[in-house]
A = this chain, B = another copy of it.
Amino acid sequence: MILVNGADDGSVSALDRGLHYGDGLFETIEIQDGHPVFWRRHLRRLEYGCQRMHIPFPGTALLTAEAQRLCHGAFKGVLKIILTRGPGGRGYRHPDQIETTRLLTLHPFPEYHESLQKDGIVARFCAIRLGLNPALAGIKHLNRLEQVMARAEWRDQGIHEGLMLDIDGHVVEGTMSNLFIVKNGTMYTDPLKHCGVAGIVREIILEACSAHAMAAVQAPLSKDEFAAAEEVFVTNSLIGIWPVRAIEDYRFNIDGQVLRQVRRWLDAYRQEDLRDAA
């Protein structure tokens, strides 16, 4: 089932500004026992993205009702929500009255082998760079050509993620994940002030570090720093945390102390979230 503005419909208006300009936002959410995991955080990010892009937010009550309708009875899956600035005429200027389009789709959960969690993944550096734009940085908006082109760079199924550099050479994130490295016991991740998507798992990790007085430095990372990194891991709402075993010639510890600590915290947040939903 696909819900478009509350109706069971597989199509959207050919004049929708999401299609014409990528003028919208999205969320990708794990469904566990019919419950969208970290639902309130996803809603909060969506509302914040709407504020930054001046798109009217449809409200938590309506989105919650539609998510429940779609996900009811799904044991495991992925809920994708797209909000767009709705239909409009030709031209970049948006209508004075914006009718936000809501698109909710339910997808099968990706068939990630469980060994990826335990034995880690192999990553590569992508050739295509992330452009810089502070006005859009952090937002999970629909302008995703850079990620599409980066993901098209490899077909080798033994490579699980591609890391993206920005045009200044900083290693910002994966095509579908946020990136953390550990050096001398300290965790680093890009501040996402010029590009990148501020992920929910990344947010939780930074919150947990702050609550437990563990250092988590938000600073740009250079490629050279991977030579000295002890641990590297990537995160998103579906994979949770994947340790990175290898990036090209670099090798990393896949069972380091920092990863184990961070994973315990994420598990605790997840359990609490599922308990609250029950």
Q: A residues within 8 Å of B by Cβ?
A: 2, 4, 9-23, 26, 28, 53-54, 78, 80, 82, 84-85, 89-94, 103, 105, 107, 110, 128-136, 141-152, 167, 175-176, 195
A19 x B16 contact (CB < 8 A): yes
CA distance in complex: A10, B134 (Å): 35
A152 x B93 contact (CB < 8 A): yes
Choose among B84, B134, B148 the residue that contacts A23 (Cβ–Cβ < 8 A). B148
CA distance in complex: A54, B145 (Å): 12
CA distance in complex: A28, B23 (Å): 18
Given A53-B149, A128-B135, A149-B135, the answer on whether A144 and B92 have CB atoms closer than 8 Å is yes
CA distance in complex: A107, B15 (Å): 11
A90 x B107 contact (CB < 8 A): yes
CA distance in complex: A146, B145 (Å): 14
Counting every copy of the chain, the complex holds 2
A110 x B91 contact (CB < 8 A): yes
CA distance in complex: A150, B107 (Å): 35
Choose among B23, B110, B133, B147 the residue that contacts A21 (Cβ–Cβ < 8 A). B147
Given A143-B22, A145-B21, A145-B23, the answer on whether A107 and B89 have CB atoms closer than 8 Å is yes
A2 x B22 contact (CB < 8 A): no
B132 x A94 contact (CB < 8 A): no
B12 x A142 contact (CB < 8 A): no
Choose among B23, B91, B129, B151 the residue that contacts A92 (Cβ–Cβ < 8 A). B151
Minimum distance in angstroms from A29 CB to a CB of chain B: 11
B143 x A136 contact (CB < 8 A): no
List the B side residues contacting A26 at CB < 8 Å: 20
> Could you list 11 further interchain pairs (A-B, Cβ under 8 angstroms) beyond the known A22-B22, A136-B145?
A2-B14, A17-B148, A22-B142, A54-B152, A90-B107, A92-B150, A129-B134, A129-B135, A130-B133, A141-B145, A143-B145
List the B side residues contacting A146 at CB < 8 Å: 133, 135-136
A105 x B21 contact (CB < 8 A): no
Given A53-B149, A143-B143, the answer on whether A19 and B23 have CB atoms closer than 8 Å is no
Minimum distance in angstroms from A90 CB to a CB of chain B: 5
Given A11-B14, A78-B90, the answer on whether A144 and B145 have CB atoms closer than 8 Å is no
CA distance in complex: A21, B82 (Å): 11
List the B side residues contacting A92 at CB < 8 Å: 144, 147-148, 150-151, 175-176
Given A131-B195, A135-B149, A152-B94, the answer on whether A144 and B21 have CB atoms closer than 8 Å is yes
A133 x B167 contact (CB < 8 A): yes
CA distance in complex: A80, B195 (Å): 30
A132 x B131 contact (CB < 8 A): yes
